[in-house]
Amino acid sequence: MWVAIFGTVIIMAIGAVAYLCNRVYRFADVGKKIALRANRRLRMFQSVIGVLVAIDLLCIAVGYVNAVIIIIHLVVFWLLSDLLFFIIKKVRRAGFSYNFAGALAVMTTAVYFSVGWALAHDVRVTRYEICTDKAVGDLRIVMFADAHVGSTFDGDGFAEYVSQMQSYNPDVVIIAGDYVDDDTPRDDLEKACRALGTLKTKYGVYYAFGNHDKGYYSDSHRSYTAADLIAELEKNDVIILQDEVKLIDDRFYIIGRQEAEEARRGNGNRAEISELTKDLDDGKYQIVINHQPTDYANETAAGVDLVLSGHTHGGQMFPIGLVSDLFGLNDMVYGHEKRGATNFIVTSGISDWAIDYKTGCFSEFVVIDVNGK
């Protein structure tokens, strides 16, 4: 799937560059007053060089991945602007002396990504209230996922969000995966883990791995291994669950599922949810940490009470969320849903991976109040 996605993006990026070169080339022909005397080949050469220099400067400013995303959006907005001004030209029965379509496309792109940057970097708090007939009492959970430490904030920045989480006086904190990724510096990893160690909760901090945490590349690609990550977390009193179950205060269970991609990486199959829950007391509240919001049918059939996930980034860039829903890439992209007796919550994540913008959602951590008997 990832090969298809990246292949599509590359093809779109090449097409976008070609389109921009064409539009810059044609810009010289807008209005007879400013028509250049230079020959066509020279003008095309100047257009290509101008576009490539602009793209190179953009890559230096925001990175290659973000530059590609911005360029593709610029072309989409330019196409829409061209269509708009084509319609206006037909209605007014006259052309334009200036390239208003290009100007509108550039301004729209700038505003769009300025808002997207703010949505990605300004972390909000989303609250949910869950009611149950089980004798769990009142339980406050703070949950976050997809920190990808080093992306939109470093270790020190993450510590500030940990302080915000503490202000909600959580009974338990749950990390639903992708805490770090291949580009997280070791120094930021250590600072972020020390920040987790400052949390004061009644029942502790619990963590299940995401698909990025153990890395997609060899250990030599980053300055720490998966074992180092585990050691740093455990040194700061974070309890890691990999297909494991913890009974807390004889009131509720936390079930941490192994990351779904571990099997595809040759690290063995993860346990079925029915296997993890078969010996549990059904009278006690059951909370599942499952990084990827998949396997909903089996989790509903198992009768667990609450499933917490991340991974989707809430769709991140419009219209990815709509496409995911259309093709069923995940069981849910964002929000809260109840299926049978099971509540499912998917967070948009406290940060991003690779792309520093969110235009289909916003960054968040989640506060969940469970109200039981």
Query: Where are the chain's structural domains?
Result: 2-119, 124-371
Higher pLDDT, 189 or 222: 189
Higher pLDDT, 29 or 76: 76
The token pair that represents 29 in the structure block = 């022909």
The pLDDT score that the predictor gives to residue 295 is 94
Residues 6+ apart with CB under 8 A from 232: 189, 190, 193, 224
pLDDT at residue 79 tops 60: yes
Q: Which CATH class for the 124-371 domain? A: alpha beta
The token pair that represents 10 in the structure block = 């590359």
How do beta strands 364-371 and 138-144 pair? Answer: antiparallel
pLDDT at residue 31 tops 80: no
pLDDT at residue 335 tops 80: yes
Q: In the Cβ-directed half-sphere of 339, how many Cα atoms lie within 13 Å?
A: 15
pLDDT at residue 325 tops 90: no
What are the backbone dihedrals phi and psi of residue 256, each rounded to the nearest 5 degrees, phi first?
A: -100, 120
The pLDDT score that the predictor gives to residue 249 is 95
- Cβ atoms of residues 198 and 162 within 8 Å: yes
Residues 6+ apart with CB under 8 A from 36: 28, 43
The token pair that represents 94 in the structure block = 């006259």
The pLDDT score that the predictor gives to residue 10 is 73
Among residues 76, 26, 31, 32, the alpha carbon closest in space to that of 51 is found at 26
Residue 218 confidence class, pLDDT cut points 50, 70, 90: low
Hey, CA dihedral for 288, 292, 295, 297, is it positive or negative? positive
Tell me what the mean pLDDT of segment 229-247 comes to. Answer: 96
The pLDDT score that the predictor gives to residue 173 is 98
pLDDT at residue 358 tops 90: yes
- How high does pLDDT run on average in the chain? 88
Q: How far apart (Å, rounded) are the C-alpha atoms in residues 313 and 358?
A: 9
What share of the chain in percent tops pLDDT 70? 89
pTM exceeds 0.85 for this model: yes
Q: How far apart (Å, rounded) are the C-alpha atoms in residues 181 and 352?
A: 10
Residues 6+ apart with CB under 8 A from 103: none
Among residues 145, 214, 213, 132, the alpha carbon closest in space to that of 174 is found at 145
Residue 24 confidence class, pLDDT cut points 50, 70, 90: confident
pLDDT at residue 49 tops 90: no
Higher pLDDT, 221 or 229: 229
- Cβ atoms of residues 141 and 174 within 8 Å: yes
What are the backbone dihedrals phi and psi of residue 364, each rounded to the nearest 5 degrees, phi first?
A: -160, 160
Residue 89 confidence class, pLDDT cut points 50, 70, 90: confident
pLDDT at residue 34 tops 60: no
Residue 35 confidence class, pLDDT cut points 50, 70, 90: very low
Residue 32 confidence class, pLDDT cut points 50, 70, 90: very low
Bridge-partner residues for 205, per DSSP?
Answer: 173, 238
- Run of H or E residues at 126: strand 124-131
Bridge-partner residues for 254, per DSSP?
Answer: 246, 287
Bridge-partner residues for 255, per DSSP?
Answer: 245, 288
Tell me what the mean pLDDT of segment 249-277 comes to. Answer: 89
Q: CB neighbours (10 Å) of residue 122?
A: 12
Residue 336 confidence class, pLDDT cut points 50, 70, 90: very high
Residue 58 confidence class, pLDDT cut points 50, 70, 90: confident
Residue 170 confidence class, pLDDT cut points 50, 70, 90: very high
Residue 314 confidence class, pLDDT cut points 50, 70, 90: very high
Q: How far apart (Å, rounded) are the C-alpha atoms in residues 26 and 101?
A: 12
Hey, CA dihedral for 314, 316, 322, 324, is it positive or negative? negative
Q: How far apart (Å, rounded) are the C-alpha atoms in residues 329 and 262?
A: 18
Residue 280 confidence class, pLDDT cut points 50, 70, 90: very high
What are the backbone dihedrals phi and psi of residue 173, each rounded to the nearest 5 degrees, phi first?
A: -115, 135
Tell me what the mean pLDDT of segment 85-114 comes to. Answer: 84
How many Å from the N-terminal Cα to the C-terminal Cα in the chain?
45
Q: In the Cβ-directed half-sphere of 41, how many Cα atoms lie within 13 Å?
A: 0
pLDDT at residue 123 tops 80: yes
What are the backbone dihedrals phi and psi of residue 255, each rounded to the nearest 5 degrees, phi first?
A: -115, 110
pLDDT at residue 55 tops 70: yes
Say what the alpha-carbon torsion angle 24, 26, 31, 34 is, to the nearest 10 degrees: 60
- Cβ atoms of residues 126 and 347 within 8 Å: yes
